[in-house]
Amino acid sequence: EIVLTQSPATLSLSPGDVATLSCRASQSVGSYLAWYQQKPGQAPRLLIYDASNRASGIPARFSGSGSGTDFTLTISSLEPEDFAVYYCQQRSNWLFTFGPGTKVDIK
């Protein structure tokens, strides 16, 4: 099983700040990494797939980068609606796994 770790666990920022979230895989996942956003009481929402491709309808302030074992999700200027939990997820092999999440909260 490929284990994903995310850092930091919590990120306290203000609207307008840049958010940089990290995800590290226990072995290479190539570019098969996605990022999801989850708000309280809601199902996760796909933001980025295959490391750097924005999903349909996702604002340009969300961007993803990385390959192999190290990946980054960047939110260029936080909007009030961006405060949420973010999960990375790999699909490199048939057993898909998620990271533990990074909570972005208001400072």
**Using CB under 8 A as the criterion, which residues of the chain lie in contact with another protein when the complex forms?**
1, 32, 34, 36, 43-46, 49-50, 55, 87, 89-91, 94-101
Smallest distance, Å, CB 104 to another protein? 15
Specify the residue, 67 or 76, whose C-beta has the smaller distance to another protein: 67
| DSSP string for residues in 67-97 | ETTEEEEEESS--GGG-SEEEEEE-SSSS-E
Smallest distance, Å, CB 99 to another protein? 7
Specify the residue, 14 or 56, whose C-beta has the smaller distance to another protein: 56
| b/e per residue 68-89 (b: at least 16 CB within 10 A) | ebebbbebeebeeebbbbbbbb
